[in-house]
Amino acid sequence: MRILVIKPSSLGDIVHGLQVVAIMKKHINGLQVDWVVRDCFAGVVESSGIVDRIYLFRRRAGVLAFFKLLGSIRRRQYDAVLDMQGLARSGLMIFAARSNRKIGRCDSREFSRIFYGEKVARADSPHAVDILLQFLPKFGLEPKFEYALDFDTGKGSYHFEGLYILLFPDSRRPEKRWPFFHELAQNLADAYPKLRVVIAGQSPANSKFLQTNVVDLTGKTSLSDILDLIKHCELVVANDSAPMHIGAALRKMVVALFGPTDFRKYGPYPVNCDHHTILSNKNLRDLSVKDVFGACTIRIDNFLRGH
Mean pLDDT calculated for residue range 235-242: 97
pLDDT in the model for residue 91: 97
DSSP 219-274: T---HHHHHHHHHH-SEEEEESSHHHHHHHHTT-EEEEEESSS-HHHHSSSSTT-T
> Can you give the residue ranges of every domain in the chain?
2-139, 164-305
Cα–Cα distance for residue pair 31/200, rounded to 1 Å: 36
Task: Give the list of residues 6+ apart from residue 130 with CB closer than 8 angstroms, or none.
Answer: 123, 124, 143
pLDDT in the model for residue 205: 60
Whether 91 contacts 114, CB under 8 Å: yes
User: Could you check whether 2-139 and 164-305 share the same CATH topology?
Assistant: yes
Fold for 2-139, please state it. Answer: Rossmann fold (3.40.50)
* CA angle, 150 then 42 then 28, to 5°: 50
Cα–Cα distance for residue pair 297/234, rounded to 1 Å: 12
pLDDT in the model for residue 159: 86
Cα–Cα distance for residue pair 58/253, rounded to 1 Å: 34
Q: Which CATH superfamily is domain 164-305 in?
A: Glycogen Phosphorylase B; (3.40.50.2000)
Q: Which of 163-177, 201-215, 245-259, 263-277 has the least mean pLDDT?
A: 201-215
Tens-place pLDDT, residues 130-169: 999 999 999 999 999 998 899 998 767 888 888 999 999 9
In angstroms, how far apart are the furthest CA atoms of the chain? 62
Tens-place pLDDT, residues 110-124: 999 999 999 999 999
Cα–Cα distance for residue pair 29/32, rounded to 1 Å: 9
Q: Which of 32-41, 121-130, 197-206, 232-241 has the least mean pLDDT?
A: 197-206
Q: Which of 27-31, 210-214, 303-307 has the least mean pLDDT?
A: 303-307
The answer on pLDDT for 210 being more than 90 is no
Report pTM.
Answer: 0.95
Is the peptide bond prior to 126 cis by the omega test (within 30 degrees of 0)? no
Q: Residue 238 burial (CB < 10 Å; 0-12/13-18/19+)? A: buried
